[in-house]
Amino acid sequence: MKVVEILFYDRNRVKLVVEMSDPNRYSTEHAPHIPRLLFKLFPHLAKHRCDNDNGYTFRKESRATEIPHLFEHLIIELQGQVQKSRILKGETQWNWRIDPRGRFHVYVDYENEMLVLGAIRLAERIINALDSRHADDISIEAEIEKLKELAEIGRQLYSASSPPAEAEVVASRTATPAAL
């Protein structure tokens, strides 16, 4: 999986164009070890709310979902590990009638531009490390500390003045029926 484009919107939302290295291997059904390992590293992901067609919990949804959908939740989780935020939302979309198979559009809310950029890059590394079964190559604790430093730089640069609120996660995924 590779993030090939990052676009920041004015309203604290970032769009990511994500491409799978193998366009036919984009689902956790093809890589069931990824969500299992991800939940071991980040147990709080089980508490994420996920709007999906079946009404499943995120843990259940993750057994048969798109890998970029896991990536979306991980970016939100990493931001929540660093700072208490307002409700952060995300969405994963694809339409393979328009885009090549294996291309996804992931949207994620953020409060701190530096933090979300770091979280995007870290989440990409984590997903790829889990996929190749090299999760031990990444020290989550050390990486979270680096994200905290980025968040502080972001606060200083952009003078974020909104008071912290309790974090909640809402994410969803959508596809056009013909895209499947």
Which pLDDT value is given to residue 93?
97
Bridge partners of 32? none
Burial of 74 (0-12, 13-18, 19+ CB in 10 A): buried
Q: Both tokens of residue 95?
A: 């339409």
**Cα(67)–Cα(127) distance, rounded to whole angstroms?**
8
Distance (Å) of CA 19 to CA 3, 31, 36, 104, 106: 6, 16, 22, 6, 11
Which of 40, 108, 58 lies closest to 80, judged by CA?
108
Question: What per-residue confidence (pLDDT) applies to 63?
Answer: 93
Please, are residues 68 and 26 in contact by the beta-carbon 8 Å criterion? yes
User: How many Å apart are CA 64 and CA 43, to the nearest integer?
Assistant: 18
Whole-model pTM: value is: 0.87
* Parts of the chain with a pLDDT under 70: 159-180
Strands 169-175 and 49-51 come out as: parallel
What is residue 175's predicted lDDT score, i.e. its pLDDT?
57
Using alpha carbons, list the distances in angstroms from residue 156 to 27, 99, 114, 148. Answer: 39, 39, 10, 12
Q: Check residue 77 and give its pLDDT.
A: 96
